[in-house]
Amino acid sequence: MARRRQKIWITRAQPGAAVTAERVRALGHEAVVAPLLAVQPLADVQVDLVGVAALAFTSANGVRAFADLSAERALRVFAVGAATAEAARAAGFKLVLSADGDVEALAAGIGQRRGELRGAVLHPGALEPAGDLVRALEAQGVTARRLVLYETLPVTLAPEAAAQLVASDAVLLHSPRAAQVLAALLKAHPAPALRALGLSKAVVRPLARAKVGPRVFPSMPLEGALLNLIDRTP
């Protein structure tokens, strides 16, 4: 029996939203790209790599922001997930190791290699990251520091556009920040039939009291697993 074609709202920031949209369309569904977040680079950021042995990225946005500011490509890179690792390789990094899962999984993977590191791990990323990688690395006995390169700002949708979007079959959420913006939007546009599909339990947590339908997340925080939920949830 053919699967029902569904309208899927993609909330992640560009350029990642376009990539997700292509994957949704490949599954036979309608992809509606309407980000709830926009990536804004910070001004006058200085990249200091003195004493740095490796880079750790938790998002493709972090990779792109770093690559725009620094020509360094020889350092070892640790990345969360295949998409972030792919972005690092596309940016020109040669030695890229990835860990499926979340910030804690990445920290554990780096911790297992701490004897190979002759210096600190630098985490280039957002002003308000989804998880505290530096804290997690320090708990593993790894010296680490942050480099804040950008912030994610909420996108304001026109009431008419918001009303159409919440009428989608499902909404895809890749970060707790996006879920927070959605929760605020749902106060004015309740959507009890809208399925909220999040990348992880932490991602859907901000929707605990929101007027939305089922809140579902995969067992592993991978986009492929997230997309599989489209046809597996009622």
C-alpha dihedral sign at 100, 105, 106, 112:
negative
What pTM did the predictor assign? 0.82
pLDDT of residue 151: 93
Residue ranges in the chain whose pLDDT is less than 50: 1
Q: Which long-range contacts (CB under 8 A, 24 or more apart) does 213-219 make?
A: none
Q: What is the pLDDT of residues 130-172, one digit of tens each?
A: 779 999 999 999 999 999 999 999 999 999 999 999 999 999 9
Task: Write out the H or E segment, with its range, that includes residue 170.
Answer: strand 170-173
From the CB of residue 52, how many other CB atoms can be counted at a distance below 10 Å? Answer: 19
From the CB of residue 101, how many other CB atoms can be counted at a distance below 10 Å? Answer: 17
Domains in the chain, CATH or no CATH each: 7-36+155-232 (3.40.50.10090), 40-151 (3.40.50.10090)
Q: What is the pLDDT of residues 113-133, one digit of tens each?
A: 999 999 999 999 999 887 799
